[in-house]
Amino acid sequence: MSTVSTSDWHPFPPRRTSSTSSSRSPSPSPAPRQPLSPTTSRSTYRPKPFDIPIYFYPSGIYSLSAIAIRAFLLGSAFATSLLLAFHFRSKYPQLSLFITALSLFHFLEFWTTAAYNTRKAKVSSYLLINNGMAYNLAHSAAFMEGVVEWLIARSLAMVHAGTNFSHLVAYRKEEDHVLVKTGIYRYLRHPSYFGFFWWGLGTQIMLGNPVCFVGYMVVLWKFFSARVRGEEELLVDFFEDEYQEYRARTPTLIPFIR
């Protein structure tokens, strides 16, 4: 049996060298590290400029300027309408609150997308003009309906009636009490009731409340039906044939109230 000399054994065999070299050449010693000069210190380091993607520029779908101006306008609309709602709180705050809710909705559409789905947070995420023609027409119609039914119909009723208008039913005829048949009263017999009835239903359509819409319709119709019937009995007593002729030719435009 052959034996291995202990002088030939090593736990880590020597690294193989090239066949052309008989021994490993010594590695060059590293050059000494030079200290940083003041001109090459870290405090004066300037990063290299980088190119901003084109879609962040004003014409891009992620335009930073377009996002900023929309946020500013929505915030201004929110604050202004909220202040107007507070100012007109005893008269007609609902139209201003509608603008408040609408501006907050569109801002949150973008903010929520930016916070939780950042890659898709584009200028169009505000959904201001790109949510379909039906959507834009619905909100435009809701705003105009609020203006017409409340601000115009009810306000004109109070203007044209003048001293003959009262928030409470008059059970006694005043000396200066006359039957107003001009202005908006030429086309509507009870324009203030017309405005409040349709405005009330419009608010529930705006809020998307089908149950309350039916409830409002029933409650408002019962209230104005009884109110009109009671008022007109008094008006017939006050103005007799003049009011009966006026009632015969002038509608209320409230369903089933003639």
Helix (H, G, I), strand (E, B) or coil at 112: helix
Question: Is the confidence at residue 206, as pLDDT, over 70?
Answer: no
Question: Is the confidence at residue 13, as pLDDT, over 70?
Answer: no
Q: Which of residues 242 and 17 earns the better pLDDT score?
A: 242
Helix (H, G, I), strand (E, B) or coil at 28: coil
Mean pLDDT throughout 15-22?
49
Note the pLDDT of residue 32.
59
- Cβ neighbour number for residue 11 with a 10 Å cutoff: 4
CA dist., res. 127 & res. 65, Å (int)? 17
Torsion angle of C-alpha atoms 171, 174, 179, 182, degrees rounded to 10: -120
Backbone dihedral angles phi then psi of residue 254, each to the nearest 5 degrees? -110, 125
Mean pLDDT throughout 232-243?
88
How would residue 239 be classed by pLDDT, with cut points 50, 70 and 90? confident
Q: Which of residues 73 and 102 earns the better pLDDT score?
A: 73
The mean of the pLDDT values for the chain is 78
User: What's the pTM value of the predicted model, to 2 decimals?
Assistant: 0.49
From the number of C-beta atoms within 10 Å of its C-beta (0-12, 13-18, 19+), residue 88 rates as middle
Q: Identify the CATH assignment for 131-249 out of 3.40.190.10, 1.20.120.1630, 1.10.287.130, 3.30.1490.190.
A: 1.20.120.1630
> Can you give the residue ranges of every domain in the chain?
55-120, 131-249
Q: Give pLDDT tens digits for 189-198.
A: 988 788 878 8
